[in-house]
Amino acid sequence: MATAWELKSIPDPVIIRDLQNQLQIDPVLATLLVQRNIHTFDEAQRYFRPKLTELHDPFLMKDMEKAVIRFNHAIERGEKIVIYGDYDVDGTTAVSLFLNAARRYYPNIDFYIPDRFSEGYGVNSNAIDQIYEEGASLLFTLDCGIKSVGEIALAKKLGMDVIICDHHEPGEITPDAIILNPKQKDCPYPYKELSGCGVTFKFLQGVFVANSWNSQELIENLDLLTLSIAADIVPVTGENRIFCFYGMEQINQKKSTVIDLMFRQANKNYPVQLSDIVFSIAPRINAAGRIQHAAQIVELFTSDDLYEIEQKVQQINELNKERRFLDQQITFEAIQEMLSDTGQQFSNVVYNDTWSKGVIGIVASRLVEKNNRPSIVFTKSNGVLTGSGRSIPQINLYDILSKCEEHVVQFGGHAFACGLTIEEERLELFKQSFDSALEFVFQAQDCSPRIEIDLEIDFDNIYAATDPGQGRLPKFIRILQQMEPFGPENMRPVFVTRNVFISDYRILKGEHYKFDFQQKGKPIRIEGIAFNFNEKFNEIEEAKPVDIVYSIGINRWNEKENLQLEIKDLRNTTIY
């Protein structure tokens, strides 16, 4: 399926020129900033040099004062507190951050992570009973709980108070609890895109302020919060950008032994970027819950025993290898089932009762990559079908599932990723309903795969401001690096350059391509790398110029840094 190239519109040239003059930068960089709604020197300063003092007052969040007061009452009375977290990266980092920050002031805090296989996502009644029997009177739910109306009612009936720290979309009916969730319709908190760990941080920020505790002890955990932001694919804007800016600083200073060891296992060189967390660290953390139990992640991030840390990191690396094997095996089977089902025109819904519940979300992502349709992968668990869904950028999966609610026991999630449970006998009805709901969306808009391109540039735009004779990266690239951390709504800039000749190339591992590019009529030669590119490369006519779509990366090898284009797509030039 051909990928459409979608070039962003150029903002008002007057605004671009004004910002260019204020910052003394070239027009390409000024345009990139204006595209990100940065129009003034002060806005640019906040973007490039975010400050922790710019974080919002936590007490702007609805119910924050109630939550802090109830927590402090528990401390005064010596109550047992239990924090209940989801088993993914966001949930386990939220629990770890809570324990690391609060236990030094009040040690009577325990945690509970549900088993992915026997308990599933969210708060469950058996866990509530167990937590109550073990003496807890105050329960926190982190990165979950906003839709657990019945389970929270049970906790209240047993005499426990509940504080929910969640960031998922609330339903029409919310639990009878103290709720911290900026997505509540009547919550005045100005930033709505926090991760579950981010909401937890804001609660703890409120506690530290109210109790005059040492705030630096909370800030020391921003590396954990950064893991959650990267893994949960929330926007890297506003407060999340501030968190990530300082969290990545901590990670690159190797403040966390655990994170450093994980990067070493992944053979990553420093400095690392937010994308390295997404592709190298998050899968390792998730592997614990996908293969065994996610509680060991919390034990790892809250341990100060170096031997224990080294052993657990090695164990998790082995679990990640097992996860990869299952991923490959089940993906192959799911693709075969997808190809054999001709009844679904707008979706992929596949089911096999032997598939591991721990990797069906990853497999759903693979199906989306395969044919650009929203995909749900089901397996059987505890007598019902448990599914994990992924979507494409143009379609809000949560909204689509809302239209199929009559066939669903429960569901939750975000625009691009959801989890759900259905009865086995309703599978075919669900598939029909899901496909019909998507048909309307596909007919109303173009849902073909696309690459959004920031700007068209020439190679001499990249090198125009190079400091002569210093052997450094071009100034253009050094400023681009300062736009990090990159992530949703602040993505790494994507460029298109036309009339480029491939002066040389070589194939790596049978499917990756290393290129030397030279633009027609220009002396500059630049290296490029393209991954899994056989199909694309076979479509072009050699010896003819191409247009290339790319982002700009840095290849670090033997303590040297070289500019490298990361190729996303290419096609033969049509206008010479």
| 419/474 same-domain check | no
| 435/567 same-domain check | no
Cα 149–152–158 angle (5° rounding)?
140
Q: Residue 155's pLDDT is what?
A: 98
Domain contains 554? yes
What residues form DSSP beta bridges with 518? 501, 525
Last residue of a domain, one of 393, 420, 449: 449
Domain contains 333? no
Domain contains 429? yes
| 348/426 same-domain check | yes
Last residue of a domain, one of 449, 474, 500: 449
Domain contains 196? yes
* Contact criterion met (CB below 8 Å) for 513 and 541: no
| 300/368 same-domain check | no
Domain contains 2? no
Domain contains 153? yes
> In this predicted model, what pLDDT tens digit does every residue of 497-513 receive, in sequence order?
999 999 999 999 989 99
Q: Residue 469's pLDDT is what?
A: 43
> In this predicted model, what pLDDT tens digit does every residue of 386-409 receive, in sequence order?
999 999 989 999 999 999 999 999
Burial category of 159 from C-beta neighbours within 10 Å (exposed 0-12, middle 13-18, buried 19 and up): exposed
Average pLDDT in the 314-321 region? 95
Question: What is the count of structural domains for the chain?
Answer: 4
| 206/310 same-domain check | yes
- Percent of the chain, pLDDT > 90? 82
CATH number, domain of 479, equals 2.40.50.460
Report residue 470's pLDDT band, with 50, 70 and 90 as the boundaries.
very low
| 542/413 same-domain check | no
Average pLDDT in the 279-287 region? 95
Domain contains 1? no
Average pLDDT, the chain: 93
CATH number, domain of 401, equals 3.10.310.30
> In this predicted model, what pLDDT tens digit does every residue of 127-167 receive, in sequence order?
999 999 999 999 999 999 999 999 999 999 999 999 999 99
Last residue of a domain, one of 280, 300, 315: 315
Residue 76 scores a pLDDT above 80: yes
Q: Residue 120's pLDDT is what?
A: 83
Q: Which of 197, 396, 390 is nearest to 285 (CA)?
A: 197
Q: Which of 305, 302, 303, 310 is nearest to 97 (CA)?
A: 302
Determine the Cα–Cα distance for residues 445 and 451; give it in Å rounded to an integer: 16
Q: Residue 1's pLDDT is what?
A: 62
* CB contact set of 394 (below 8 Å; sequence gap of 6+): 441, 445, 446, 447
Determine the Cα–Cα distance for residues 112 and 140; give it in Å rounded to an integer: 10
Average pLDDT in the 468-486 region? 81
Domain contains 546? yes
Q: Residue 85's pLDDT is what?
A: 97
Q: Which amino acid is at 386?
A: T
| 134/175 same-domain check | yes
| 353/220 same-domain check | no
Residue 468 scores a pLDDT above 60: no
| 474/432 same-domain check | no
* CB contact set of 215 (below 8 Å; sequence gap of 6+): 205, 208, 209
| 113/251 same-domain check | yes
Strand-pair category, 495-508 with 455-456: parallel
Q: Give pTM, 2 decimals.
A: 0.90
CATH number, domain of 261, equals 3.90.1640.30
| 306/417 same-domain check | no
Report residue 412's pLDDT band, with 50, 70 and 90 as the boundaries.
confident
The parent domain of residue 26 ranges over 11-49
| 345/305 same-domain check | no
Average pLDDT in the 355-359 region? 92
Specify the long-range contacts of residues 480-484, CB closer than 8 Å, at least 24 apart: 480/29, 480/552, 481/554, 482/48, 483/32, 483/47, 483/48, 484/248, 484/273, 484/274
Report residue 343's pLDDT band, with 50, 70 and 90 as the boundaries.
confident
Residue 410 scores a pLDDT above 80: yes
Instruction: Return phi, psi of residue 565, to 5°.
Output: -80, 130
Q: Residue 265's pLDDT is what?
A: 94
> In this predicted model, what pLDDT tens digit does every residue of 221-257 receive, in sequence order?
999 999 999 999 899 999 999 999 999 999 999 999 9
